[in-house]
């Protein structure tokens, strides 16, 4: 058998099988009502089929897997988060409007005591197969309802037992206890309302809970009425039901608020003031960090590039150790070392600096730790850059009588900077989003005293945003956090693009 044909055949079988799996998964997702994911799987299957069997484009074959994963786990979440920025998604606004109104009504139930528990029977309507509930309340009337419509029925007295149980209703099948059990999912969410406002809810498989909700919802007029006080409540533009006197009902719902999150960044003093301070520090931190660590790396590279120094390898190995320790662990250890007074650093150097509780010292501490993490990388790349300088240039300069200092400033430095410039730009972009170093070390603190939020002296935009979204003390304001994420993205993106452009022109000049 032709080996090539076999291997080609098996490759196709493998691909075909993979596509089949994706289609099957997509169908299951569709059945489970996960629309977006189902469509994504179908589209992926189609793209894979097209790319690897029909399309002539070679690049697509290499890029497709990465692109598919990137889309699902990076691009889609980013857009989704962006969409959240236009809602008031936060604690108290997680429900849909229907859920919120149902919750308000349900929570306002006033229980009505009955002399005997109200029993019910479960029926299935022949034909539509809908679940109905039959029960007797107060008068000799029986009520039949599926939660939407309700009507009173008078069963044939011959089909009613002594205890009130009905054995036959025309057009319906009466369920046995076992069959009733199978309908639990529907029964436990059933709410039956009489016109008088009395509400019945199954509280187990046999009895109904009788109550009178204080709130009634008029769907036509889109208003809630408090039957006890007569007050009426209508929706406002923030996903809540509000009365004329300004009383707000809870829970609210997730509402589309347009650009309000973005505008509040500028107009709301409580948001704008801490945000401004955070932004300033975000930039300061990133630029200082890259500048200082670059200088340190450069100086060390120059010092240890000395040929006569034989233990170069030894020092280099030690210098890169900070890169080798998982930063999530080393950062936490640093936070312990910086404890004021009794901490290791204060005791070792016989100082008494309130590292983590004083805003400016906290910033210094953050920079020290970030420097510790970053200088090895800077050391390595500047070493590489220096070593890449052709020896002839340096020799020529020495012959021309240039002093070591001049050789440095006029030749080495510019060449090194030009070589590592793209990496420096990338470092700045990463430093702008240096979440771990801030959050694990200081948590963004110490907190600004007058702030409404948890903005602190060492917070950078991403850590502040994170706290807004995930710190329940902040009300889990996903809406505002998403707006800030977009802002963050724009800032980092613009700076990176600007930096890259600047470098391209620099290269052009030289």
Partner 1 sequence: MKLHRLGVGLLGVSLAFFGSMAPAQAAGSITVWVNSGEEASYKAASAAWSAKTGVTVNIVAKCGLGDCGMSKLGPAGAGPDLFTASHDNTGSLVKSGVVTSLSSVVKKASYPSAVLSGITFNYQQWGIPIAVSNIALATNLSLVPAGAPKTWKELESTATSLISSGKANVGIVTHLDGYFMQPFFDSIGGYVFQNKNGSYTNTKQVGLYSKSLAKNASLMDTWLQKKIFDKSNTYDGSNFTNGKAPYSLVGPWSIAGLDKAGMKYEISSIPSINGGTARSFSGVTAVYMNRYAKNKFLAKQYLVEVVQSAAFSKAITAANNSYPANIEAASSIDPSSVAGKFGAYGAVCIPMPNVSEMNQVWTYWNNAFADWASGKAKFGAAMESASKNLNKALGNS
Partner 2 sequence: MRFWLKKVLWRHVVGIVVAAFALFPLVWMISAAFDVTGQISTQQLIPVHKGLDNFVQLFSNKEKPFGIWSKNSLIIAISAAGMQVIIGALAAYSLSRHRFKGRKLTLTTILIVQMFPQLLAATTLFLIINTFGRSFAILGLGHQLPLILVFGGSALGVNTWMLKSFFDTLPTEIDEAAKIDGAGHFEIFRKIIIPLATPIFVVTFLLSFIGIINEYLITSVILGLDGKNMTVAVGLQQFIYGQYGKNWGPFTAGALLATIPVMTLFIFLQKHLVSGLVSGSTKG
Residues that bind partner 1 (CB under 8 A): 6-7, 9-10, 13-14, 17, 20-21, 24-25, 28, 91-92, 94-96, 99-100, 103-104, 106-107, 109, 111, 181-182, 184-185, 187-189, 202-205, 209, 250-251, 339-343, 354, 357-358, 446-447, 449-454, 472-476
The answer to whether 97 and 239 have CB atoms below 8 angstroms apart is: yes
The answer to whether 229 and 185 have CB atoms below 8 angstroms apart is: no
Q: Give the whole-angstrom CA distance, residue 210 versus residue 435.
A: 54
Bridge partners for 215 per DSSP: 226
- H helix runs in 408-472, sequence order: 413-432, 435-439, 461-470
Total binding residues for partner 2 by CB under 8 A?
A: 93
The answer to whether 206 and 120 have CB atoms below 8 angstroms apart is: yes
CB of 115 to partner 1, least distance (A): 17
Q: Give the whole-angstrom CA distance, residue 227 versus residue 211.
A: 13
Out of 16, 52, 408, 489, the residue judged to bind partner 2 by CB under 8 A: 489
The C-alpha angle with vertex 309 and arms to 304 and 312, in degrees rounded to 5, equals: 55
> Long-range contacts: 77-84, Cβ < 8 Å, 24+?
78/489, 81/482, 81/485, 82/482, 82/485, 82/486, 83/482, 84/478, 84/479, 84/482
Which entry of partner 2, partner 1, none binds 165, CB below 5 to 8 A by partner kind?
none
CB of 147 to partner 2, least distance (A): 25
- Quick one: CA torsion of 455, 458, 462, 465, rounded to 10 degrees? -10
CB of 40 to partner 1, least distance (A): 16
Which entry of partner 2, partner 1, none binds 7, CB below 5 to 8 A by partner kind?
partner 1
Out of 238, 419, 447, 451, the residue judged to bind partner 2 by CB under 8 A: 419
Which entry of partner 1, partner 2, none binds 465, CB below 5 to 8 A by partner kind?
partner 2
The answer to whether 268 and 261 have CB atoms below 8 angstroms apart is: no
Out of 54, 308, 405, 509, the residue judged to bind partner 2 by CB under 8 A: 308
- Nearest to partner 2 of 192, 469 (CB atom): 469
The answer to whether 498 contacts partner 2 (rule: CB under 8 A) is no
The answer to whether 74 contacts partner 2 (rule: CB under 8 A) is yes
CB of 281 to partner 1, least distance (A): 18
- Nearest to partner 1 of 215, 294 (CB atom): 215
Q: Give the whole-angstrom CA distance, residue 151 versus residue 287.
A: 74
CB of 176 to partner 1, least distance (A): 15
For residue 410, give the 3-state DSSP assignment. helix
CB of 152 to partner 1, least distance (A): 27
- Nearest to partner 2 of 220, 324 (CB atom): 324
Which entry of partner 1, partner 2, none binds 188, CB below 5 to 8 A by partner kind?
partner 1
């Amino acid at each position: 058998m032709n080996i090539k044909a076999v291997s080609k055949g098996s490759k196709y079988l493998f691909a075909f099988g993979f596509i089949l799996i994706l289609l099957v998964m997509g169908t299951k997702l569709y059945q489970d009502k996960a629309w977006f994911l189902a469509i994504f799987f179908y589209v992926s299957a189609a793209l894979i089929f097209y790319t690897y069997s029909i399309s002539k484009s070679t690049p697509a074959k290499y890029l497709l897997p990465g692109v598919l994963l990137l889309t699902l786990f990076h691009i889609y979440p980013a857009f989704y988060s962006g969409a959240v920025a236009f809602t008031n998604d936060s604690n108290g606004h997680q429900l849909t409007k229907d859920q919120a109104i149902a919750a308000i009504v349900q929570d306002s139930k006033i229980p009505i005591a009955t002399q005997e528990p109200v029993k019910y029977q479960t029926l299935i309507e022949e034909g539509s197969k809908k679940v109905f509930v039959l029960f007797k309340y107060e008068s000799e009337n029986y009520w039949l309802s599926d939660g939407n419509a309700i009507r009173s029925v008078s069963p044939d007295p011959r089909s009613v037992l002594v205890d009130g149980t009905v054995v036959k209703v025309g057009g319906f099948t009466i369920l046995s206890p076992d069959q009733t059990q199978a309908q639990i999912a529907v029964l436990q969410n059933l709410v039956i309302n009489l016109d008088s406002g009395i509400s019945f809810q199954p509280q187990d498989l046999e009895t109904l809970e009788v109550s009178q909700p204080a709130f009634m919802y008029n769907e036509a007029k889109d208003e809630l009425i408090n039957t006890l006080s007569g007050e009426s409540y209508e929706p406002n533009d923030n996903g809540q039901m509000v009365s004329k006197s300004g009383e707000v009902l809870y829970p609210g719902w997730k509402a589309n608020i347009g650009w309000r999150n973005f505008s509040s960044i500028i107009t709301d003093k409580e948001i704008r003031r801490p945000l401004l301070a955070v932004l300033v520090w975000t930039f300061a931190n990133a630029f200082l960090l890259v500048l200082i660590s670059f200088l340190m790396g450069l100086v060390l590279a120059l010092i240890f590039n000395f040929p006569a120094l034989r233990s170069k390898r030894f020092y280099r190995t030690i210098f890169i150790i900070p890169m080798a320790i998982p930063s999530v662990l080393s950062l936490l250890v640093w936070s312990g070392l910086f404890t004021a007074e009794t901490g290791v650093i204060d005791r070792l150097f016989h100082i008494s600096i309130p590292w983590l509780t004083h805003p400016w010292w906290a910033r210094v501490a953050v920079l020290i730790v970030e420097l510790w993490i970053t200088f090895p990388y800077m050391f390595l790349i500047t070493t590489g850059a220096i070593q890449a300088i052709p020896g002839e240039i340096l020799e020529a300069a020495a012959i021309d009588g240039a002093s070591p200092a001049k050789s440095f400033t006029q030749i080495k430095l510019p060449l090194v900077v030009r070589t590592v410039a793209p990496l420096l730009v990338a470092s700045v972009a990463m430093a702008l989003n240096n979440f771990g170093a801030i959050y694990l070390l200081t948590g963004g603190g110490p907190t600004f005293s007058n702030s409404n939020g948890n903005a602190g002296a060492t917070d950078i935009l991403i850590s502040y945003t994170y706290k807004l979204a995930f710190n329940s003390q902040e009300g889990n304001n996903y809406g505002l956090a998403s707006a800030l994420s977009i802002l963050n993205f724009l800032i980092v993106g613009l700076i990176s693009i600007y930096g890259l452009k600047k470098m391209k022109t620099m290269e052009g000049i030289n």
